[in-house]
Amino acid sequence: MAEPIAGIHRTDSATASAATAHGEIPIANIYYLLCYAWDVLEEKDSLADVDALESTDLLNLFTRVLVSGTRRLLRRGLDRGYLSQEDEIAGVRGKLLVTQTLRRNLLLNGRAACLWDELEYDTQVNRILKTTLQRLHESEELDANTRANVNDVLRWLTPVRNIELCKEHFRRVQLHRNNRIYAFLIHVCEFVYEQWLPAERGDARHFRDFVREKLSKLFQKFVFNFFQRELPALGWKVSAPVIRWQMVAKNTDADELMPRMETDVCLRGPGRAIILDTKYYAQALKTGRFGGGAKLNPNNLYQLFTYLRQQSCEPGWEQADGVLLYPRTTRNFDAEFTTQGHRIRALSLDLAQPWQNIHAALMQIVAETDKPRL
């Protein structure tokens, strides 16, 4: 298993520099990162006051988010759905089940076997929500106050059944566009489910810390959605296209065997273009095989340069900039150079600094393209 990249701790502006030195990410910043990655930024402030959170772990944070969100749903009314009901009843309702009715001689007693739809709270999305809250309530890591709030909410979810959660339940969820709060809560439930591991003994469970693979994907989504929200108003287009190999005289094997060049973020502004690749490692800089000081991963640079050269055949991308973006681990760095008409930067983003500084640092990446070319 990959090495965890960082601890998750709550810090404020006064302690951000100390957290940065140890690679720790404030819990508020983790929360914002996830809200961007899940594209639910509108709901972040209404469901959790992360600055007031006394706990230092995501388990309590997400439990409070689920409690707050569920209370909002209860105030406005939980979503209901039509569920099929089958029973023997007096008279007829819905669809008459003729075979069952005749086989049981129900008509002699004025009864019939029927199938009908009932509008119920016991829907798939509500089951996921209740089951997640129930499992969180049983967690030993939950603080007493949060546990009491979960218990209070669960009393209002009595009409909803618990289920044995699996990945398929989350894939089946269908939510309409006007119900974003449910979308946010289901994201949280799925995250809790994915990070919820059996302990070594008994049935107790514990909340797993982030590992590199999980944060790598979230970091990529976060950066893409951040620019998707911030840049269109400034005249930029944000995309993540698959770059085509510029090949001539190719044979069948070339078509079948060449790897796909899937970009993380491509930014196109007035007269400017950037190909940005996100990387998330426990150590962004490593000592090479032959000693010497810490170096950038050469494969990252080769990959980015290949993207730039292959995309340069497209109009507007002839002299695109390339950016490798790493979360800060041991120290900040910002390497910049120009080669074959492309300005390339490899820089770190300090996720332990105040969120406003993270926002400014990401926007500065775009502003840097205003520098004159060498």
**169 and 87 in a common domain:** no
Asked if residue 140 has pLDDT above 90, the reply is: no
Split into its structural domains, the chain has a count of 3
**222 and 173 in a common domain:** no
**90 and 49 in a common domain:** no
pLDDT band at 373 (very low <50, low <70, confident <90, very high): very low
Asked if residue 71 has pLDDT above 70, the reply is: yes
Helices then strands, counting H and E runs in the chain, come out as 13, 17
Beta strands in 167-236 (DSSP E): 196-198, 205-207
Asked if residue 6 has pLDDT above 60, the reply is: no
pLDDT band at 177 (very low <50, low <70, confident <90, very high): low
Asked if residue 314 has pLDDT above 80, the reply is: yes
| Rg (the chain; Cα; Å) | 27
Q: Which residue has the tokens 């939980």?
A: 78
**319 and 218 in a common domain:** yes
Tokens matching residue 279: 């990387």
Is residue 112 assigned to a domain? yes
State the pairing for strand pair 242-243/95-96. unpaired
**361 and 347 in a common domain:** yes
Higher pLDDT, 153 or 29: 153
**67 and 54 in a common domain:** yes
The string of DSSP letters for 313-359 reads TSTT-TT-EEEEEEE-SSS--EEEEEETTEEEEEEEE-TTS-HHHHH
Asked if residue 262 has pLDDT above 50, the reply is: yes
What is the rounded distance in angstroms from the CA atom of residue 295 to the CA atom of residue 311?
26
Three-state SS annotation for 15-41: HHHHHHHCCCEEHHHHHHHHHHHCCCH
- % of residues, the chain, pLDDT over 90: 39
Is residue 23 assigned to a domain? no
Is residue 43 assigned to a domain? yes
**253 and 226 in a common domain:** yes
Over residues 71-83, mean pLDDT: 85
Q: Are 41 and 229 in contact (CB under 8 A)?
A: yes
Identify the domain containing residue 43 by its residue range: 38-78+124-210
**262 and 164 in a common domain:** no
State the pairing for strand pair 321-327/95-96. unpaired
Give the pLDDT of residue 291: 66
Give the pLDDT of residue 51: 61
